[in-house]
Chain A
Amino acid sequence: MSTTIVPITLREPAWQRLADEIVIGKDILELLSSSMYVDPMTIYREYVQNAADSIDEARDTGLLSTGEPGRVDIDLDPGSRTVRVTDNGTGIPFEEFAGRLSAFGGSTKRGRGARGFRGVGRLAGIGYCQELLFRSRVNGETKVSELRWDCRKLKAILRSVDGHHDLRQAVGQIVEVRRIGGTDRPARFFEVEMRGIIRHRNDQLLNPTAVSSYLSQVAPVPFRENFPFREQILGHLRGQIELGNLEVLVSGNGGPVRRPHSEGVEVGVGVIDPFTELELLKLDAVDQGTAAVGWILHHGYTGALPASCHVRGLRVRCGNIQVGDDRMFEELFPETRFNAWSVGELHVVDPRIVPNGRRDHFEQSTHFDNLLTHLTPCAREIARRCRTSSIRRKWARDFELRETAVRDKLAILKQGAVSRRERTRIAESIQNDFVFLDDILRKGILPHEELAELQRRKDKLERDATRILSAPVKASVLSDLPPSKRIAYEQMIGLIYECSLSQANAKLLVDKILAKLR
């Protein structure tokens, strides 16, 4: 009998695609609204971004003439707790209106170079109001299309534990559409209205100043006319990116919103640290081409800039809308604190560097990584300037303190009330002080003008010192006293100087004593 061994090959089971098992639950709604937009102010960024894309399209299709500004009106009504954001972009025709405004993802804007393309930004308001309405009309329509999200009902559905809601069912219950008359409304517009805005902290969603200053940092709005580096920066950006600036008007805030940059930064009450130098940046992409362009404004680097200046930190914009906050690039600095000392902005040029869905950062990719790599030396250079400036200030302060000390000592010599020995000691210590001052001037770290000024002051001080040291000791009241008494007084006065923390105060005291003796 013989046995044959037959090898058995185990085959790996094949993968099968899913069909009906896919469930999209109602909770997606929460994830796409309140979970995505944690900072309430971002709802303004989302609606202004949609407006900007629509205005760009209107301009491209000739609906908006070259001279006519793209306009976004933000109407805040604290009485009715209502916010309205209206733009003069293309609008959405009624046939597409309900479909586009109740869809999740699947934006028609993807791949067309628009700022938004994921089709979720319009849901930003859901978490922050009781009713969210969209209205629009396109050229040729008589009626205004209107769609309403009932956020109260949505909240109830999201909270309910009984019954199974999938996304489609849930949306069906909370979204309604209709057509209304609109004789008083523009021929072409798009509007978002949020009714019953929730009270969030200091009610900043309804505070025109807060909204304006937020948008001044984030939205695509022009620089102020009086910003000295405006033309240079615009010249540098031209040809690389389309800024697509908008006229954004916030009710209750006067004129249109402008970028916050001016001639400098207010670093203390009424103290302006002026911008002294503009550094223009062009960062290479991974392959040929440019990843980003930008600029850095150098100033005195006297310390961290206050948040209230709204220009603090290295920031980044994509489609001329800020991504993330002022701490986006903090990690690139050798010490993160130096980010708060800087003023600068990057505009992403490479379309492969893509903001993430929350727009608080970028999708991780080799292209974004490359951007960080190329920005790092800039951050290191800023840190170097911060450190140099702080060392420079330390030396300048040391110079001043030592200069005052010399003046105090000269005053004591001039007073003529110390013993000969003490006088020699003081004269020697003044010589040491001059060596110290010379050392500071030789450091080579102080800027040219400041150095010249300090040199002038030191020369003057030296002349004064020579004059006082070479002058015969002025006869003080002590010289009239009998020698033994004079010596005792001189000893006592010497002790006063030796034991006092402030030589200037000691001198005042000795002056008084001498006056009494007189």
Chain B
Amino acid sequence: MANKNILLIEPGYKNKYPPLGLMKLAQYHGPQGKRDKVKFIKGEDPSVFGTAWDRIYITTLFSFEFPKIAQSVDFALKVANGHADKIFVGGIAASLMPEHFAAQPAWRGIRFIQGLLTGAPAEALKLDAFSEELYSDDLSGLAIEDLIPDYSILDQIDYKYPVRDAYFAYASRGCIRKCTFCGVPKLEGDQRDAESITCVVNGIEARYGTKKDLILMDNNIVASPKFHDIIAEIRDLGFVPDAKLSIGRVPVQRRVDFNQGVDARILCKDPVYLRELSRICIKPLRIAFDHLGLKGPYEKAVRYAHEFGLLSMSNYMLYNFHDTPTDLFERMRLNVQLNEDLGLRIWSFPMRYQPTSLPDRSHIGERWTRYQLRSMQLILQATHGVVSGDPTFFKRAFGDTAQEYLDLLVRPHHFIFNRDWYEYYEGRPRFEEFRTEFRKLGSGDSAELMELIGNVDPSAMKDQIKRATTARVRSIMRHYLPLPKEEEAEIWARQRVLKQQDHPSIVVPDEERVEDAGLNYEEPAATTPKGKSRRNPKPEPVHA
């Protein structure tokens, strides 16, 4: 039953890693599988309208990308001329919030697949033998999840994944922890070992050539009882410290990346874990630092890492969950201190928490305000999402103390957005005026100001002024009115002249960045009415 037309769609969001699920489906249908004709598109490509598709698969990633996912599903329905039974939607968002997908009446009949495609293909895909669906008799084939991903489909699209020259594999699935902010328990369940990574690496190499890096997407590798064996296997595959790959003229450094991070609570228990990790070319070492309660284990793990010569580290720092802004500041500050003490290079990537079942990024943690979150987003946009461990840089971007950081978070947004302009250039008098007024605020005034600006739409700021009860608050509220568009454009133009180029002072390779920090996320239309949205290139970068 070869020669069927199979369409694979990844919605048009920006993402870092290629869609492994679709690549495995491509393997299932492709030249070494069912010998069908497989087409892969990213986003909506109208050229597919000319073909009769026997099946359409759509992958999904983050829940908050729901609008883009919805666009792809609607597109697929159009391509399939309404034949919903030909469409299969799987992946992370579809698994994390199946009820949200199932609740769309226009999508009735589409099959939403939760979790991994383990088990026989016909069962995993819920194919109906009674209706004689294509491949519904495949009850004994190898599970699609266990197939070698088909890298060749990536050449069919123009989009370049920041990480692509790599073997993508799992040494284990699931996780021993059940953190409430995490989607893994729902997606993968309990921790267990996966197929041998050597088989996957060799399989990919045989079919698609040698890859530079090894990306292991384990959720908690150090919790695996086979941790030592896995490290030995990675070494056997050649990923030892300083391993180089010579394909072109210049040999390139290879690296192993446990891209979901490793668990400080286990690492701190015994130096053996980091000693083992130092015996492979791990780069960067990612240690999650989700709340200040992990300070002890985290610090200890970092010191062990330093002991074994692992100097390049990356951190995921969850915020907007149960933490406070001060909690986040202390965590970031600790990294600066460790950098200074140990001479490390730790980059932190604050990640704003969104519930895994929310179809947008609107969540506001109980100890954050909408205003503070937007301020944090503006600061991170300027630092390109990275918190550097360099003390001068850090102080400039986030302040020297927790109080300075808190003050920064309540600053009028245009002062944050155009920081140099207001702190060093022509905007300075206005900023000074604000500062003077801000310093004069009593504690009651500050609380009132927070209350007034905390969770309102910028367009409603004008009305909030009227609600101020004291003259001081009323006066300082003037600074919170959004700048007129013309004035803002003028500032941007003048700044461009003043500073020839806004070169970022730090360069972080894409492969080390967090997958989606929501840096370019625009708040829903209420704040920026359609057609009037701010289309500023970027906020001013922070210079040390």
Contact = CB atoms under 8 A, between A and B. Distances in A.
Given A369-B83, A369-B85, A377 B132 contact: no
Contacts of B52: 283, 373-377
Contacts of A283: 52
Given A287-B1, A373-B54, A366 B81 contact: no
A286 B81 contact: no
Contacts of B53: 373
Contacts of B3: 284
Interface in B36-87: 49-54, 80-83, 85-86
Given A288-B1, A369-B85, A372-B81, A377 B131 contact: no
A367 interface: yes
A373 B133 CA distance: 13
B227 to A, nearest CB: 46
Interface string B196-232: 0000000000000000000000000000000000000
Contact of B81 (A287, A367, A376): A376
A381 interface: yes
A331 B83 CA distance: 11
A286 B1 contact: yes
Interface in A373-414: 373-377, 380-381
Contacts of B82: 331
A365 B85 CA distance: 12
Contacts of A331: 81-82
> Chain B's interface: helix, strand, loop or mixed, by majority?
loop
B132 A373 contact: no
Contacts of B163: none
Given A332-B81, A373-B86, A376-B81, A365 B49 contact: no
A492 B311 CA distance: 92
B134 interface: yes
Nearest to B53: A373
Interface string B114-147: 0000000000000000011110000000000000
A240 interface: no
A370 B54 contact: yes
Interface in B1-40: 1, 3
A174 to B, nearest CB: 40
B48 to A, nearest CB: 10
A373 B85 CA distance: 11
B131 A365 contact: yes
Interface in A325-378: 331-332, 365-367, 369-370, 372-377
A377 B49 contact: yes
A332 B3 CA distance: 23
A372 B83 contact: yes
A380 B49 contact: yes
Q: Categorize the interface residue count of chain B.
A: 10 to 19
A377 B83 CA distance: 14
Given A365-B132, A373-B81, A381 B50 contact: yes
A51 to B, nearest CB: 33
Kindly name the residue among B80, B132, B133 whose own CB sees the greatest number of chain A CB atoms within 10 A: B132
A359 B112 CA distance: 35
A380 B85 CA distance: 20
Kindly name the residue among A284, A375, A377 whose own CB sees the greatest number of chain B CB atoms within 10 A: A377
Contacts of A375: 52
Given A284-B3, A380-B49, A380-B50, A373 B80 contact: yes
Interface string B130-173: 01111000000000000000000000000000000000000000
Contacts of A369: 83, 85
A336 to B, nearest CB: 12
B83 A366 contact: no
Interface in A253-285: 283-284
Contact of A377 (B1, B51, B133): B51
A459 to B, nearest CB: 37
Nearest to A379: B81
A366 B134 contact: yes
A376 B83 CA distance: 11
A125 to B, nearest CB: 36
Kindly name the residue among B52, B54, B132 whose own CB sees the greatest number of chain A CB atoms within 10 A: B52
Contacts of A287: 1
B259 to A, nearest CB: 39
A283 B3 CA distance: 12
Contacts of B134: 286, 366
A366 B50 contact: no
Contacts of A332: 81
A351 to B, nearest CB: 13
Nearest to B86: A373
Contacts of B49: 377, 380
Nearest to B136: A366
Interface in B373-391: none
Nearest to B78: A334
Contacts of A367: 132
Contacts of B50: 377, 380-381
A382 B82 CA distance: 19
Contacts of A380: 49-50
Contacts of B133: 366
A331 B82 CA distance: 10
Nearest to B51: A377
Contacts of A376: 52, 81
Nearest to A375: B52
A234 to B, nearest CB: 26
A373 B83 contact: yes
Contacts of B132: 286, 365-367
Nearest to B2: A288
A377 B50 CA distance: 5
Interface string A285-301: 01110000000000000
Nearest to B80: A373
B392 to A, nearest CB: 59
Interface in A412-466: none
Nearest to B3: A284
Contacts of A372: 81, 83
Nearest to A381: B50
A403 B53 CA distance: 47
Interface in A143-200: none
Contacts of A366: 131-134
Contacts of B81: 331-332, 372-373, 376
A50 B418 CA distance: 85
A366 to B, nearest CB: 5
A327 B51 CA distance: 22
B76 to A, nearest CB: 13
A286 B51 CA distance: 15
Kindly name the residue among A286, A373, A375 whose own CB sees the greatest number of chain B CB atoms within 10 A: A373
A331 B80 CA distance: 12
Contacts of B83: 369, 372-373
A381 B3 CA distance: 22
A369 B85 CA distance: 10
Nearest to A284: B3
11 contacts: A284-B3, A286-B1, A286-B54, A366-B131, A367-B132, A370-B54, A372-B81, A373-B52, A373-B83, A374-B52, A381-B50
Given A286-B132, A377-B49, 17 more contacts: A284-B3, A286-B54, A288-B1, A331-B81, A332-B81, A367-B132, A369-B83, A372-B81, A372-B83, A373-B53, A373-B81, A373-B83, A376-B52, A376-B81, A377-B52, A380-B50, A381-B50
Name the 3 nearest CB pairs between A and B, nearest first: A374-B52, A287-B1, A366-B132
